[in-house]
A and B are shown apart, each in its own frame.
Chain A
Amino acid sequence: MIKTEDLKKVYTTEEVETTALNNVNFEVRHGEFVSIMGPSGCGKSTLLNLIGLLDNPSDGRYYFLDHEVSRYSERQRANLRKHNIGFVFQSFNLIDELTVFENIELPLLYQKVSSSERKKRVTEVMEQMQIMHRKNHFPQQLSGGQQQRVAVGRAVVGSPRLILADEPTGNLDSSHGEEVMKMLLDLNEAGTTIIMVTHSPTYAEYGHRVVHLFDGHIVTENLNGKFHV
């Protein structure tokens, strides 16, 4: 599903040139659950942004669903993204001015899904995430766990093939963290590919594979043995 060859990302400011990723070769197959670990500043988030088509690499190639997309235009990337990728962030990133329902609905609006269909799918997702009773609340009226459930709901409502989760449990206590991990596992069981960045070795274990990043390089890839082709 995803394959990178010599992927490189360099950030240039006026005085400093920082290499965030250096010659990263990385592959994820359909249905995989991959955890990425590494210390702060090792390039985890950069890698996730490149994979998520939020940014273009400075060098190297990136195959997404067998298309070489590293030189795609903003428009082409947006198109691929909205139909294939769901995002979950550490800080939830819900829009404060929108209700739970409206936040989950947002990706569908960009996919131009009809109103009745949107209502149906959002309702389904809310039931799945057990936040139906919070439908008309605004994010700041919810607990952290609830907010992250909304965020996960928003990530899955468009039925993406790939979910990118950037420290989804980072801002949650352990019980809420478990809850979110459970959801991701369920989604993975149902066939969604998941790539998750985390600091927590425990949660990393949920993945089939743990990739360790250090200073922009992939250091090790541990197969957890849970993956069967």
Chain B
Amino acid sequence: MFRNILKIFFRTIVRHRAYSLIHLLGLSIGLSSVLIIMLWIQEEIGYDRFHENAEQLYRVAFTYRPLGLSRYHQPGALSGYLKKHFPEIRESTFVSGGKHKLNRNNEGFSETGLYVEPDFFTMFSFPILSGDPRHVFDNVNSIVITEKLANRLFGQSDPLGQIITMDDNRSLAVSGVLKDIPRNTQFDFDFLVPFDLIAPYTNNWNAKSGLVYILLDTENRVDDVNAKIAGIIDGIRPEWENTLFLAPLARDRLYPVYGRGSIHYIYLFSSVAVLILLIACINYMNLSTARSERRLKEIAIRQAMGSRRIQLILQFLGESLSYTVLAMIFSLLLVEISLPAVNQFLNVHLSTRYSWPLIGLYGLIILFTGAAAGSYPAFYLSSFTVQRAMTSARFKTGGHAAFRKISVIVQFGLSVLFMISLFVINEQMDFIRNMSLGFDQENVILLSAGNKIRDNLDSVRNRLLEHTGVQQVTVSSNDMTGWTNSGPVMWTGLDPDANIEVGYNWVDENYLNTFRMQMADGRFFSEQFLSDADDAFVVNEEAVRQMGMKNPVGQEISTWFGRKGRIIGVVKDYHTAALHEPLQPAVLMLAKHEPYQVNYLCVRIERGNVRQMLQDLHTIVREIVPDDPVSFKFQDAAIQAQYETDERVQHLIQFSSIFALIVSCLGLLGLSAFNVQQRSREIGVRKVLGATVPLIAGLMARDYFKWILLGNVIAWPAAWIAMHKWLENFSFRMEITIWSFLTAGLATMMIALMTIGYQVMKAAMANPVVSLRDE
């Protein structure tokens, strides 16, 4: 019996290639999008779960009680304190890091390194290739490097025991080589060095200079431990008003203690995938029921031969399941082939790693899709009594017509929803790109300043200015993608309950001109006023607004780190962070006496040959600081990078709306072909009675037009709500206009009409004699 059904299935596929192809394509596209999104979800969920102790690893976080904000940064002494006083905490490590200069044989490299405690190697599962993980830091002057860095520094020779100079002042011996760290972890480093190297400055409660990770001995005591550690900071630095708690490492990626976790995207992407699959399933149901007439004879015969209804249901479910299996095989191939393109498009790094749970899940998806797609046809077709099926070779599928209408409405409703979202997102992204940030982000190169550059700031600046392509040079402690130095500001008349946090930035006199910003009041720093270096501040308009000052110029303010002075000018507002954030109040001061605050040299260049320019800059810097690593970035690119997740959503919606539309059109194509076939007799009669081709084409198209219009009506409010919600992510956003809706509606309408156009015209122009005869 099973073989018999399978035979019919395959022979039907071969015989009705076009319909089968539509079935398969629709399901494959739906499944492919599910597969891709599942791979992505697998990647996201797998973050830091590969550690053997994943369930017991925590990052220590705190809540700043006055504002209820949670963050991760901790003082250096916390790690040791926790381990010493709480037996539940088996291991712990402080982690802090950043870019460092490594030298090997006078060649400089800029690499990312972390200061960690020895427990790091046993807490986390980063496999070590050579060296003993328990003893790599026995000697404080040690460094553990990744395989990749080892290759770069030493090539083929054995790195163990070799000496590397770090930041020009430490000689460290390589004591271990780690396998390259996987992508799905929150740690990102090229090398590890002992915390003891910086312990003299860091192992205290003075400042929050890094992160603390701990390993709990059993996982179920986390609440107890939380209760115990909550008040630690209050006993030592009560003025911080921090409450400590443990944040599970394995959940960090999905549910961070602040900011948007990727769980939001998991929900978003999954619902998109399910919707596309739904469209594909509807397609299948629709087409197979529409074409059911062809199957009625078979159903009748089977019933006459003694088949029971349940057997027929199983047969049709079996067919949809077989289609799904075929489509799944097809999709797996498709995904395998298209993954590089998808990775690039969505800016992700997916790979097809098949595990048993994943294969099981695929099985479930096949079952679910097969059942969903096959359910309606199965129950509908099997409900025909043999004699109804047998005697009415040309019966009307009446009740089913309603289902067909609804399905077209739903499919196109979803397509319109995706398309409107796409238009709105595109508009917002354009809005972001074109919005004036209050400064000129283009043609500015940011040169990261290491210690040697800081020591030679003036000569580097002068040499750069000698280059004809360089227009201006300034310094800054921050780039324009979020300022890291922020804190309270004080002035006379400050409301003690007010909580105003401003961003601080150390600059020089050329900052205003280099970034082409404008003054709103007063003046900018000038070399003519020597005292500017000591006691002058320039603030932005937002700071003035927040401080509530009437005449800011001349007012005295002081910073939380003790610098005091007067406001000499107000610069027009400019955006120091992504447009998701509101304007930040900014306070600028000169870096003259605090060159260590300088992190960037900002170089405004002539528009032109950027590549040559970079090379020249490189050469110039190298001349002055020969063995320092030189790293550049473009200010506009750095700003753009902040919208990476938004762009990912944009691309996802692009990809989804295309898929949704293709699948919907496939369905429409099949449906219209069938419909034309079914109505050919009616068309013939109408033509005989004098109907013209346009009249008939209009008649045939009218129904679809109606359904798609209805789909639009349903999709519009849904799209408005969804997009309104998405736009709330941005402090600066454009207004949703009716145009996105109209364009999406018109576009789907046009595409749908083009899809059915050929069939409709063919039917309208057919010779009525033929259709009337062969019926």
Residues on A facing B (Cβ under 8 Å): 45-46, 49, 52, 54-55, 74-75, 78-79, 81-83, 87, 89, 93-98, 102, 105-107, 109-111, 154
> Contact: A110 with B8, CB < 8 Å?
no
Question: Contacts A54-B387, A109-B1 given: A98-B8 contact, CB under 8 Å?
Answer: yes
> Contact: B308 with A102, CB < 8 Å?
no
Question: Binary interface profile of B, 7-34, with partner A (CB < 8 Å = 1, else 0)?
Answer: 1100110010000000000000000000
B residues near A79, Cβ cutoff 8 Å: 306
B4 part of interface (Cβ distance < 8 Å): yes
> Contact: B386 with A54, CB < 8 Å?
yes
A residues near B300, Cβ cutoff 8 Å: 93
16 contacts between A and B (CB under 8 A): A49-B386, A54-B385, A55-B387, A78-B306, A82-B306, A83-B306, A87-B305, A94-B301, A95-B298, A96-B15, A98-B8, A98-B11, A105-B4, A109-B1, A109-B4, A111-B306
Residues on B facing A (Cβ under 8 Å): 1, 4, 7-8, 11-12, 15, 297-298, 300-309, 311, 385-387, 390-391
CB distance from A151 to the nearest CB of B (A): 10
B residues near A95, Cβ cutoff 8 Å: 8, 297-298, 301
CB-nearest residue of chain B to A81: B306
> Contact: B11 with A97, CB < 8 Å?
yes
> Contact: B308 with A74, CB < 8 Å?
yes
> Contact: A107 with B387, CB < 8 Å?
no
> Contact: B8 with A82, CB < 8 Å?
no
CB distance from B404 to the nearest CB of A (A): 20
> Contact: B390 with A110, CB < 8 Å?
no
A residues near B308, Cβ cutoff 8 Å: 74-75, 78
CB distance from A40 to the nearest CB of B (A): 12
B residues near A111, Cβ cutoff 8 Å: 306
CA A52 – CA B304 in complex, angstroms? 8
Question: Contacts A81-B304, A97-B12, A109-B1 given: A102-B387 contact, CB under 8 Å?
Answer: no
> Contact: A107 with B11, CB < 8 Å?
no
CB distance from A64 to the nearest CB of B (A): 14
CA A110 – CA B301 in complex, angstroms? 12
CB distance from B9 to the nearest CB of A (A): 9
B residues near A96, Cβ cutoff 8 Å: 15
CA A10 – CA B12 in complex, angstroms? 37
Choose one: A97, A102, A105; the contact of B15 (CB below 8 Å): A97
> Contact: A54 with B8, CB < 8 Å?
no
* Secondary structure dominating the interface of A: helix
Residue of A45, A74, A94 with most chain B CB atoms under a 10 A cut-off: A74
CB-nearest residue of chain B to A83: B306
> Contact: B306 with A74, CB < 8 Å?
no
> Contact: B4 with A82, CB < 8 Å?
no
Contacts A82-B305, A83-B306, A95-B297 aside, 12 further interface pairs with beta carbons under 8 A come to: A46-B387, A54-B303, A55-B387, A81-B305, A81-B306, A87-B304, A93-B300, A97-B8, A97-B12, A106-B4, A110-B305, A110-B306
Choose one: A46, A83, A93, A110; the contact of B307 (CB below 8 Å): A110
B residues near A46, Cβ cutoff 8 Å: 387
> Contact: A74 with B297, CB < 8 Å?
no
A residues near B298, Cβ cutoff 8 Å: 95, 97
CA A191 – CA B305 in complex, angstroms? 21
CA A46 – CA B309 in complex, angstroms? 21
A residues near B11, Cβ cutoff 8 Å: 97-98
> Contact: B4 with A102, CB < 8 Å?
yes
CB distance from A76 to the nearest CB of B (A): 10
B residues near A82, Cβ cutoff 8 Å: 305-307
A residues near B301, Cβ cutoff 8 Å: 93-95, 106
Choose one: A45, A52, A83; the contact of B391 (CB below 8 Å): A45
CA A125 – CA B298 in complex, angstroms? 22
CB distance from B693 to the nearest CB of A (A): 33
CB-nearest residue of chain A to B386: A54
CB distance from B127 to the nearest CB of A (A): 56
CB distance from A44 to the nearest CB of B (A): 11
CA A83 – CA B306 in complex, angstroms? 8
CA A87 – CA B297 in complex, angstroms? 14
Choose one: B7, B303, B385; the contact of A97 (CB below 8 Å): B7
Residue of B4, B302, B304 with most chain A CB atoms under a 10 A cut-off: B304
CA A102 – CA B387 in complex, angstroms? 23
CA A87 – CA B386 in complex, angstroms? 12
CA A107 – CA B1 in complex, angstroms? 10
CA A46 – CA B387 in complex, angstroms? 8
> Contact: A107 with B386, CB < 8 Å?
no
CB-nearest residue of chain B to A164: B304
CA A213 – CA B11 in complex, angstroms? 42
A residues near B302, Cβ cutoff 8 Å: 106, 110
A residues near B304, Cβ cutoff 8 Å: 52, 54, 81, 87
> Contact: A74 with B305, CB < 8 Å?
no
CB distance from A50 to the nearest CB of B (A): 9
CB distance from B1 to the nearest CB of A (A): 5
Residue of B302, B385, B387, B391 with most chain A CB atoms under a 10 A cut-off: B387
CB-nearest residue of chain A to B307: A110
Q: Which 3 A-B pairs have the closest CB atoms?
A: A82-B306, A97-B11, A110-B306
CA A74 – CA B12 in complex, angstroms? 28
CA A61 – CA B12 in complex, angstroms? 42
CB distance from B394 to the nearest CB of A (A): 13
CB-nearest residue of chain B to A115: B3
A residues near B15, Cβ cutoff 8 Å: 96-97
CA A184 – CA B307 in complex, angstroms? 25
CA A101 – CA B127 in complex, angstroms? 64
CA A79 – CA B306 in complex, angstroms? 6
CA A78 – CA B309 in complex, angstroms? 9
A residues near B387, Cβ cutoff 8 Å: 45-46, 49, 54-55
Question: Contacts A97-B15, A98-B7 given: A106-B305 contact, CB under 8 Å?
Answer: yes
> Contact: A98 with B4, CB < 8 Å?
yes
CB-nearest residue of chain A to B4: A109
A residues near B309, Cβ cutoff 8 Å: 74
A residues near B305, Cβ cutoff 8 Å: 81-82, 87, 106-107, 110, 154
CA A82 – CA B12 in complex, angstroms? 26
CB distance from A15 to the nearest CB of B (A): 14
B residues near A109, Cβ cutoff 8 Å: 1, 4
CA A93 – CA B305 in complex, angstroms? 12
B residues near A102, Cβ cutoff 8 Å: 4, 7
Choose one: B12, B306, B390; the contact of A93 (CB below 8 Å): B390
A residues near B390, Cβ cutoff 8 Å: 54, 89, 93
Question: Contacts A78-B303, A106-B302 given: A93-B4 contact, CB under 8 Å?
Answer: no
A residues near B307, Cβ cutoff 8 Å: 78, 82, 110
B residues near A93, Cβ cutoff 8 Å: 297, 300-301, 390
CB-nearest residue of chain A to B5: A109
CA A154 – CA B304 in complex, angstroms? 11
CA A54 – CA B249 in complex, angstroms? 66
CB-nearest residue of chain B to A55: B387
B residues near A105, Cβ cutoff 8 Å: 4
B residues near A83, Cβ cutoff 8 Å: 306
CB-nearest residue of chain A to B398: A14
CB distance from B96 to the nearest CB of A (A): 71
CA A109 – CA B306 in complex, angstroms? 10
Residue of A97, A98, A105 with most chain B CB atoms under a 10 A cut-off: A97
CB distance from B154 to the nearest CB of A (A): 68
CB distance from B382 to the nearest CB of A (A): 10
B residues near A98, Cβ cutoff 8 Å: 4, 7-8, 11
CB distance from A96 to the nearest CB of B (A): 8
> Contact: B306 with A107, CB < 8 Å?
yes
CB distance from A165 to the nearest CB of B (A): 12
CA A1 – CA B264 in complex, angstroms? 71
CB distance from B319 to the nearest CB of A (A): 12
CA A93 – CA B386 in complex, angstroms? 12
CA A110 – CA B311 in complex, angstroms? 10
CA A45 – CA B298 in complex, angstroms? 19
CB distance from A118 to the nearest CB of B (A): 11
B residues near A74, Cβ cutoff 8 Å: 308-309
CB distance from B297 to the nearest CB of A (A): 6
CB-nearest residue of chain A to B10: A97
